[in-house]
Amino acid sequence: MTDKSKKSTESNASNASDLEFERPITELEMKIKDLEALSQSSGMNLNGQLNPLKARLDKLIQDVFTKLEPWDRVRVARHKERPLTTDYIQLMIDEWVELHGDRLFGDDPAIVTGLAQMDGERFLLVGHRKGKTTQDKIACNFGCAHPEGYRKALSKMKLAEKFGLPIVTLINTPGAYPGIGAEERGQAQAIAMNILEMSRLRVPIICVVIGEGGSGGALGIGVGDRVNILQYAYYSVISPEGCAAILWKSGDKAPEAAKALRLTADDLQQLALVDQVIPEPLGGAHRDPAGMAQILRDALLAQLRELKRIPTDRLLEERFDKYRNLGNDASVLAPAGTASPADSTSSSSPEKASEESAG
């Protein structure tokens, strides 16, 4: 697998929509298709040959995808054909009314918000939008939102709170947009405000990382009662490329960085940073978007119905407690409330400014 991850960086520029570890799968699929075509045109029954091939295909997909390295998973999460927020809206939502604009500056296409209904459950949907066509992608800045995107999300979430609608967020961003306008309009403040307000909104919030969970840009719509992640999605403090460039001084070390960052769905569940990993169809969501949408819909409906039975005060208390101890390791830190400052206070007079440290 180490060889594979090395190759994967080299073949980044390839135009093929499948990743190099998917190529044996694609080849076998082509073979099966050819045989099927032959069977149809000639009227011959080729099941004797087809069935073993199909069984081999399933096993091959399973083999390839259970052995994926973290960096391969990052690349699956970014797969060209991976379903996006807009796909889920189409495939999973029964009724949809998009709401636009932050009322302050603009309507950031990189975040979509709207009223949604699914099997009778009404909620507010907030999601990153990456764009399908090249033109779309550019308009959406490839899913990198500006402050107006985060403020649009917050204004609609407040609307949801006022009318008692639960909130579902679909996270899929490489990160918040790094640009002059974004900084001028307070990118950091917009994200911080969302994180803080989402911790105390008085309606159920369900978050799902559906592809890329890129740092603060993801967390800006990522605080909730249930945080889910799809099997091949990732969630990280920094992109593997960025981390490699800073710590390894080489962008080529992204596969190593991806491994070290522990950013896969399984890692995050082990670290208790996500509540649930939602399985993807065999070979990843991009191989069966409709199947993925069905799985996600079922998971969301179950959680919506579970959360709406919890009284609001208790819901908020549980959310608070979850975030209060997030990332804490019981062996190092006592759970909140049990530690008293008196137990562990070390008094010291102010240290004199060291003569040596001038700047």
Partner 1 sequence: MAMGWNRFRKKKDMPSGLWTKCDQCGAMIFKRDMEKRYKVCPECDHHFVLTGPERVELLIDEGTWIEEFAELSATDRLHFVDKVPYTDRIEKTVAKTGRNEAMIIGSGQLGGRPIVLGVLDFAFMGGSMGVIVGEKVTLAIEHAEREKLPLILVTSSGGARMQEGTLSLMQMAKTCNALGRFDSAGGLYISVLTHPTTGGVIASFAPMADMVLAEPGALIGFAGPRVIQTTLKQDLPPGFQRSEFLLEHGQIDRIVSREDLKEEIGRLIDFVKGPVVRAREAKVAEAEG
Stretch (H or E) spanning 124: strand 121-128
The residue among 233, 202, 217 whose CA lies nearest residue 310 is 202
Beta carbons of 194 and 221 less than 8 angstroms apart: yes
Q: Which of 176, 296, 310, 330 binds partner 1 (CB under 8 A)?
A: 176
- Distance CA(202)–CA(141), nearest Å, equals 32
> Is 13 or 358 the residue whose CB approaches partner 1 more closely?
358
> Is 106 or 114 the residue whose CB approaches partner 1 more closely?
106
> Is 138 or 271 the residue whose CB approaches partner 1 more closely?
271
Is residue 338 involved in binding partner 1 (CB under 8 A)? no
Residue 66 tokens, joined: 């259970």
Q: Which stretch binds partner 1 (CB under 8 A): 16-24, 49-57, 123-131, 187-195?
A: 187-195
Q: Which stretch binds partner 1 (CB under 8 A): 4-12, 50-58, 120-128, 229-237?
A: 229-237
Instruction: Calculate the alpha carbon distances from 340 to 34, 71, 318, 331, 344 in Å.
Output: 71, 42, 22, 16, 7
Instruction: Calculate the alpha carbon distances from 284 to 27, 64, 299, 350 in Å.
Output: 17, 11, 17, 57
Q: Which of 30, 271, 282, 302 binds partner 1 (CB under 8 A)?
A: 271
The residue among 221, 211, 279, 273 whose CA lies nearest residue 74 is 211
Is residue 314 involved in binding partner 1 (CB under 8 A)? no
Q: Which of 185, 276, 291, 308 binds partner 1 (CB under 8 A)?
A: 185
Beta carbons of 8 and 258 less than 8 angstroms apart: no
Q: Which stretch binds partner 1 (CB under 8 A): 10-18, 131-139, 260-268, 286-294?
A: 260-268
Q: Which stretch binds partner 1 (CB under 8 A): 13-21, 159-167, 197-205, 306-314?
A: 197-205
Q: Which of 1, 247, 282, 290 binds partner 1 (CB under 8 A)?
A: 247
Is residue 358 involved in binding partner 1 (CB under 8 A)? yes
> Is 169 or 283 the residue whose CB approaches partner 1 more closely?
169
- Distance CA(228)–CA(226), nearest Å, equals 6
Q: Which of 91, 273, 301, 310 binds partner 1 (CB under 8 A)?
A: 273
Is residue 313 involved in binding partner 1 (CB under 8 A)? no
